[in-house]
Amino acid sequence: MAKLWGGRYAVKTSAVFERYSNSLASDTRLTPYDLKACTAHVQMLSEVGVINEEDARKLLHTLNEMSVQVENDELTPSGNHEDVHSWVEAELASRVGPIASSIRIGRSRNDLVVTDFRLWMKDELLYQQEAVKRFQQILLTLAERNLEVVMPGYTHLQRAQPVSLAHHLLAYFWMLERDRQRLIQCYRTTDVCPLGAGALAGSTWPIRPERTAELLGFASAFENSLDVVSDRDFAVEFLAAAALCMVHCSRLAEEIILWSTTEFGFMRLSDAWSTGSSLMPQKKNPDPAELVRGRTGSVIGHLMALLTVIKGLPLAYNRDLQDDKPTVFAAADTLGSSLEVLAGAMESAQFQNEKMAAAASDPGLLATDLADLLVRSGVPFAESHELVGRHCEGDTDERVKPLLEQLTTASAVEGRTHRGAAGFKAVAAQLDRARNTLLV
Ligand code: ARG
């Protein structure tokens, strides 16, 4: 297949190397964005008089025709082309002839590829923000329903103090809120147009990068051509946000797995979201949660992979950067599907309120409150701590005995009323704030 270069090359590229370097398969998802970028570039070139009106009309008409066909799944890159940019030009040339190559004037694949990538990323970020938000909405609904359900809160996976189930669920809501904010911030980083930076130094043609940026809906054009052709900060930021969001999902997945055990028995996954064993008929396994927990590893890996690709690169573009896209695409696919799966599993799960209440009625969970009561009755905190510790071992001091009736699990939860605490009233206020957060 004809290449976009080759004038000085005496022999053909090795077939082995050609296979090794080909990026068409992964670039394919950039096709609509490449067509958009080409369209904006041609439009700008015609506005500044680099391409004559007639050629521009022909090119724009045909690029639009191709875009519509791509959108309708009637056209998709195929054949032995080095990358999506080569395919677009070849396809264009098959329709309009040699003027197709004028799309290459005043730009290079180095600025084009990262323009395509940023355009794709912007759409993807909006999709991922919505996916996170949908999950937050589900957690909010579950929290609303379970405000007055009491369960043990844990530290070191040992029962610690009683909390409202809603409080536990909202903890994940806030983790996801921070994830959503990171994705929103990443959109800002991504919203810069590289087109016109050329291979590295810009162009001697009278191009107007601000105009191309405007036509493509970017917030601004690049500041420095050397920087922008090799800058992948937006991709790293996305991978970091995705990795952290997956880590949060994985923590929740771990709790789903624990809570679904006979030992805990706090939760039952719906049949629609669990799997049986081919051998053991009694089994109902929390596979969706396990897969999310497992796949978190690959997203963390993608972040490390891209950071490592970039760390030794001199300015400006280097071919190493081609491998930015598979990492980001894979991480985005994993994040999007994991959010959907975990949200679906949670939404349809049943909480076993009695089991939670029974576990929360463990008198040990009231130990802190008992010590606090002793302090209120005038015993210094260290001594109170000591006395309650001994009480837990069966040695109850006379000063402790009269206080025992004053304490219940309900009073321990209800007593925690300040902002952000685990008590019912405080959690109700927290729920209001969570609801408002999603409105903006
Ligand atoms: N496939 C390449 C990439 O994704 C496109 C840019 C190629 N540029 C070059 N100078 N070989 O990075």
How many angstroms is it from 322 CA to the middle of ligand 1? 6
Compute the average pLDDT of residues 106-126: 98
SS3 state of residue 156? coil
> Is 232 in contact with 307 (CB distance < 8 Å)?
no
pTM: 0.96
Q: Which residues contact 273 (CB under 8 A, 6 or more apart)?
A: 288, 341, 344, 345, 348, 349
Compute the average pLDDT of residues 44-50: 98
Compute the average pLDDT of residues 416-420: 97
Q: Is the pLDDT of residue 333 over 90?
A: yes
pLDDT in tens, 232-252: 999 999 999 999 999 999 999
Compute the average pLDDT of residues 96-114: 98
What is d(CA 211, CA 216) in angstroms, rounded to the nearest whole number? Answer: 9
| DSSP annotation of 417 | -
Residue 167 Cβ inside 6 Å of ligand 1? The answer reads no
Q: Is the pLDDT of residue 273 over 80?
A: yes
> CA nearest 208: which of 56, 45, 37?
45
What is d(CA 353, CA 149) in angstroms, rounded to the nearest whole number? Answer: 6
Q: Is the pLDDT of residue 1 over 80?
A: no
Active-site residues: which are they?
156, 277
pLDDT in tens, 73-99: 999 999 999 999 999 999 999 999 999
**pLDDT at 4 (0 to 100):** 83
Residue 322 Cβ inside 6 Å of ligand 1? The answer reads yes
CA distances from 62 to 92, 174, 185 (A): 7, 48, 36
Q: Which residues contact 88 (CB under 8 A, 6 or more apart)?
A: 31, 34, 35, 38, 66, 77, 103
Nearest CA to ligand 1 atom 11: 319
Q: Is the pLDDT of residue 5 over 90?
A: no
Compute the average pLDDT of residues 217-222: 98
Q: Is the pLDDT of residue 288 over 80?
A: yes
What is d(CA 83, CA 74) in angstroms, rounded to the nearest whole number? Answer: 19
How many angstroms is it from 418 CA to the middle of ligand 1? 56
How many angstroms is it from 207 CA to the middle of ligand 1? 22
Nearest CA to ligand 1 atom 2: 322
Residue 316 Cβ inside 6 Å of ligand 1? The answer reads no
The phi and psi torsions of 195 (rounded to 5 degrees) equal -65, 130
pLDDT in tens, 391-410: 999 999 999 999 999 999 99
> Is 319 in contact with 17 (CB distance < 8 Å)?
no
> Is 84 in contact with 24 (CB distance < 8 Å)?
yes
Residue 116 Cβ inside 6 Å of ligand 1? The answer reads no
CA distances from 368 to 56, 107, 126, 363, 385 (A): 77, 68, 45, 11, 8
Residue 282: band (very low, low, confident or very high) from pLDDT cuts 50, 70, 90: confident
- What is the greatest pairwise CA distance in the chain? 99
The tokens describing 256, both together, are: 């789903």
pLDDT in tens, 14-31: 999 999 999 999 999 999
Nearest CA to ligand 1 atom 12: 322
**pLDDT at 215 (0 to 100):** 98
Query: What is the rounded average pLDDT for all residues in the chain?
Result: 96
**pLDDT at 270 (0 to 100):** 96
The tokens describing 119, both together, are: 């355009």
The tokens describing 152, both together, are: 């043990």
